[in-house]
């Protein structure tokens, strides 16, 4: 194999290992703290976890904006738009599979995910607000973009309050001991130290993952459009994916789904709001497809959440949506329309 390809592949492997380890430590410590302080599963999963695990994406966005010029703006917009799409397709499918594996390994009682119905708040919020990111592409007025950005920023804070009011399910007290507790006298102190250490691992691992993917994409000639819409979001979404997979495997269904949809809400309100203020926010056809597909799948997920029954059909839907998008976008790209 060409040495030029070995280096980015090795970087990706090291980064992925750090992210997986950080995700395991993060879920263990957060579960303990949520149980100790009687914090609801939905609040931890939908608010706290997405903010912490979205740090790698935030770094990508900031670095791209500062050093990337116009291309950096495209990468930033692609990351913001593409992340909810990845979460709505591949990540949902992976959660269902993780839950089924957990059932086989007797780590959970049922093969189907059965999250709390109060997750309707983030799913409904995302389904309503995410399509609004398309508005500046059709109404190219500065005041419209700024006004919409402020509305989205406000919507995120209102969403936080809505989640707090709707939250009801509390994490049980029979959670696993904190891993770092073996080395410290106070388990609570160990949990906080473990949270900080896990976030550091996730950040360092994600930084290497993104760097490796960008270098590999340059070597094999992936277009900027494919990089900004598919490659970067798929890598940057790994931290919350790992966190959600661990929770699904262990039967923490509300936490698992909330961590994913909470990230989607963050990327349909707060991050687009910031993006509209600091970029021209010019979405191309590939981004439009992302928004349409992610919103449609989210509406279907809302139906399954209200039924408290998420199984194989959701996994199939996610994979089909991702493949359909890739076929559509790459066909359009091939025709030169994007």
> Is the Cβ–Cβ distance between 163 and 122 less than 8 Å?
yes
Nearest to 301 by CA among 265, 331, 338: 265
Choose among 250, 299, 303, 312: nearest CA to 126.
Answer: 299
DSSP-derived 3-state class of residue 113: strand
Q: What is the pLDDT of residue 300?
A: 83
Query: What's the topology of domain 3-335?
Result: A middle domain of Talin 1 (1.20.1420)
The alpha carbon of residue 248 and the mean position of all alpha carbons in its chain are separated, in whole angstroms, by 15
DSSP 8-class letter at 130: G
Phi-psi region of 38 (alpha: psi -120 to 50; beta: other; left: phi over 0): left
What pLDDT is attached to residue 338?
42
pLDDT of residue 150: 92
Res 5: pLDDT: 79
Taking Cα atoms as reference points, which of 79, 52, 33 lies closest to residue 275?
Answer: 79
Q: Are 49 and 243 in contact (CB under 8 A)?
A: yes
- What pLDDT does residue 245 have? 81
- Rg for the chain (alpha carbons), in Å? 19
The CA-atom distances, in angstroms, between 76 and each of 102, 267, 282, 283, 331 are 36, 12, 11, 11, 23
114 phi-psi bin (left φ>0, alpha ψ -120 to 50, beta other): beta
Count of helix runs (H) and strand runs (E) in the chain? 17, 0
Task: For tokens 């980015």, name the residue.
Answer: 8
Q: Tens place of pLDDT for every residue, the chain, 338 residues?
A: 566 778 888 887 888 788 778 877 877 787 777 777 666 655 665 666 666 666 666 766 776 666 556 666 777 787 788 888 887 788 888 888 888 888 888 888 888 887 777 777 778 888 888 899 999 888 888 888 899 999 988 988 887 777 667 655 544 545 678 888 888 888 888 989 988 898 888 778 777 776 777 777 677 666 555 556 666 666 666 666 777 788 788 878 777 777 777 777 788 888 888 888 887 887 877 788 888 888 888 888 788 888 887 778 778 888 888 888 777 776 655 533 44
- How big is the chain, counted in residues? 338
d(CA 209, CA 202): 10
Q: How do the domains of the chain map onto residue ranges? A: 3-335
What is the structure's pLDDT at 147?
A: 92
Q: Cα–Cα distance between 310 and 297 in angstroms, integer?
A: 13
Quote the CA–CA distance of 272 and 49 in Å, as a whole number: 19
């Amino acid at each position: 194999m060409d040495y030029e390809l070995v280096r980015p592949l090795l970087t990706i492997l090291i980064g992925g290992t750090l992210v997986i380890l950080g995700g395991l430590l993060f879920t263990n410590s957060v579960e303990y703290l949520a149980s100790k302080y009687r914090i609801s599963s939905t609040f931890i999963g939908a608010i706290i976890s997405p903010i912490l695990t979205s740090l790698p994406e935030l770094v990508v966005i900031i670095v791209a904006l500062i050093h990337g010029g116009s291309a950096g703006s495209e990468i930033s917009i692609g990351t913001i738009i593409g992340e909810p799409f990845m979460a709505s397709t591949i990540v949902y499918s992976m959660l269902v599979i993780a839950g089924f594996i957990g059932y086989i390994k007797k780590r959970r009682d049922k093969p189907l995910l059965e999250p709390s119905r109060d997750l309707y708040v983030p799913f409904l919020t995302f389904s309503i607000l995410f399509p609004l990111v398309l508005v500046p592409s059709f109404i190219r007025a500065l005041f419209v973009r700024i006004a919409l950005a402020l509305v989205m920023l406000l919507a995120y804070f209102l969403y936080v309050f809505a989640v707090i009011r709707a939250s009801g399910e509390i994490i049980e007290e029979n959670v696993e001991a904190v891993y770092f507790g073996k080395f410290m006298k106070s388990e609570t102190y160990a949990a906080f130290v473990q949270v900080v250490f896990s976030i550091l691992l996730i950040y360092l691992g994600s930084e290497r993952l993104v760097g490796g993917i960008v270098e590999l994409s340059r070597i094999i000639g992936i277009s900027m459009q494919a990089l900004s819409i598919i490659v970067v979001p798929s890598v940057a979404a790994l931290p919350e994916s790992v966190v959600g997979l661990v929770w699904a495997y262990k039967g923490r269904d509300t936490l698992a789904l909330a961590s994913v949809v909470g990230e989607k809400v963050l990327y349909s309100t707060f991050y687009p709001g910031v993006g509209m203020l600091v970029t021209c926010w010019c979405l191309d056809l590939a981004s439009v497809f992302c928004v349409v597909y992610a919103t449609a799948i989210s509406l279907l997920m809302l139906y399954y959440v209200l039924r408290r029954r998420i199984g194989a059909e959701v996994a199939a839907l996610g994979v089909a949506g991702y493949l359909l998008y890739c076929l559509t976008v790459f066909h359009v790209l091939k025709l030169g329309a994007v």
